[in-house]
Amino acid sequence: LDLERIGVHESVGNVFPPAELESYLSDLPATVETVDDDGARDCDAVVTFAYREAFLDCDWIHSIQAGVDRFPFDDLEAEDVVLTNSTGIHDRTVGETVAGYLLAFSRRLHAHVAAQKEGEWEKPAWDEAFTLPGKTACILGTGTLGSGVADVVGSLGVRTVGVRRSADPVPGFDEIYATDDLLEAVADADFVIVTLPLTDETHQLVDSEVFETMREDAYFVNVGRGPIVDEHALIDALESGAIEGAALDVFEEEPLPEESPLWEMDEVIVTPHCAAFTRDYFRDVGDLVEENVGRLEDEEEFYNRVV
């Protein structure tokens, strides 16, 4: 693979200005420039948020997201295009966002912000607010996101239970369950937190049975991908009181449609797929690209290679 021209696809603008990454990578031994769909065709490699068919003309695509469920793996393989992703950089950002959700629910901050918007001085009921130490978070997925969440909420005194394919222990988690025992794992949790990638296996993994098994005072959090959860079952569970509330960064359809009942629910926090946002995002992505350019020069295997 001869790397002369690296395109920064304009779609990275969803997360940071393309020019920031362009200048961060200006020391690379290749031309780096911001490109649109057409411009991408002339590149050896492209760094991108979105997927475009034009990228099949490149040799290497780097996704600035960890999730790569939008990429057509079969087409990439057929055209001999390498795909790498940005797994490994979102531990602290997403961990802090999830800790923020938990603190909002326990300290009622979302309710106060809502009341302030209405100009209302409204104290919570005596038994609404609580503290986190001793509470249990069941975290589905023990990779970068899962470990980052366990680290940050663990430091707030929350007991962390991880769910992964095998029940082997993972550093940073107090207890581990295998995915086969998912219902057992969520049954006693105060918070159930999805940090999984979207795959054939995880599609709709969280269904009505999971919500029925959860405690009625438990909160559900999804920072993985929307389709891992049966959103209708989630809405039913929230409406019927089968669970207390939810914090959601990802949805079956994004942007979340205007008519979704989730917008209006008091105990639901909606964030627009930005749990991993940070002003340093372009640097974290740039370091991954640089690492792989170095590996290419040394004829080593790609880091974070998916296809």
110 is catalytic: no
Q: Which is nearer to ligand NAD, 14 or 31 (CB)?
A: 14
- Alpha-carbon torsion (196, 200, 202, 206), positive or negative: positive
Measured from the CB of residue 201, what is the shortest distance to ligand NAD in angstroms?
4
In this structure, the dihedral spanned by the alpha carbons of residues 275, 184, 127 and 267, taken in order and rounded to 10 degrees, is 40
Q: Which is nearer to ligand NAD, 45 or 163 (CB)?
A: 163
CA angle 224, 10, 97 (to 5 degrees): 30
Separation in Å, CA 267 to CA 7, 102, 261: 43, 12, 12
Of residues 197 through 216, those in contact with ligand NAD by CB under 6 A are 197-199, 201-202
* Contact flag: residue 111 with ligand NAD (CB under 6 A): no
* Residue number closest to ligand NAD, CB atom: 143
* Contact flag: residue 141 with ligand NAD (CB under 6 A): yes
Return the closest-CA partner of residue 46 out of 1, 8, 3, 4.
8
Q: Which is nearer to ligand NAD, 32 or 139 (CB)?
A: 139
Separation in Å, CA 265 to CA 158, 183, 211: 26, 26, 17
> What length is written for the chain?
307
Of residues 247 through 306, those in contact with ligand NAD by CB under 6 A are 249-250, 273, 275-276
Rounded to an integer, what distance in angstroms lies between the CA atom of residue 242 and that of residue 201? Answer: 25
**Could you tell me which stretch among 101-109, 191-199, 260-268, 288-296 binds ligand NAD (CB under 6 A)?**
191-199
Structure tokens at 111: 């309710």
* Contact flag: residue 95 with ligand NAD (CB under 6 A): no
* Contact flag: residue 48 with ligand NAD (CB under 6 A): no
The residues that are catalytic are 225, 254, 273
Residues that bind ligand NAD (CB under 6 A): 66-67, 87, 90, 94, 141-145, 164-165, 179, 195-199, 201-202, 223-225, 249-250, 273, 275-276
